[in-house]
Amino acid sequence: MAFNLLIVDDSVSIRQIIKRVISISGFITGDIYEAENGLAAIKVLAGNQVDLILSDIHMPEMDGITLLEKVKKNKALCHIPVVMVTTEAREQLVNKVMELGASGYITKPFHPEEIKQLLQRILGVEDAGDNKTEFEEGDF
């Protein structure tokens, strides 16, 4: 089964890296939507079926924490898992986003296999086999 993802980050290059890492990991995706901040993400969510959101925390206009709060308070969206992707690993911040309803938290840099395992765990998908590539030895 392919899953539709929404990647939310104010950096175009980071969004591209996340897409590339997911591709390298072998995780099967459907549509991958992008948004430059939480406000743009809400617009994407209004018109598209999304199975999982990967969101940065620090963004202009609407940050990832506010996006997480809005998604979890919206009856039409609250079922969508949200994974926070950020450079911050402070325990207080991790605890806060998990208490607000985040399904997971991953810090940059990350390894393709790490993100694949997280997505599989959250979406309840079993690994279909060994999809290693020459890129799996590096972090992104």
CA atoms within 13 A on the CB side of 101: 18
pLDDT (mean) for 37-47: 97
pLDDT (mean) for 112-118: 86
DSSP 67: H
pLDDT at 127: 60
At 139, the pLDDT band (50, 70, 90 cuts) reads very low
pLDDT at 136: 43
Domains and CATH numbers, the chain: 3-123 (3.40.50.2300)
pLDDT at 104: 92
pLDDT at 112: 81
From the number of C-beta atoms within 10 Å of its C-beta (0-12, 13-18, 19+), residue 36 rates as middle
What number of residues does the chain have?
Answer: 140
pLDDT at 89 over 60: yes
- How many percent of the chain have pLDDT more than 90? 59
Supply the pTM of this predicted model.
0.87
pLDDT at 25: 83
pLDDT at 134 over 70: no
Average per-residue pLDDT for the chain: 87
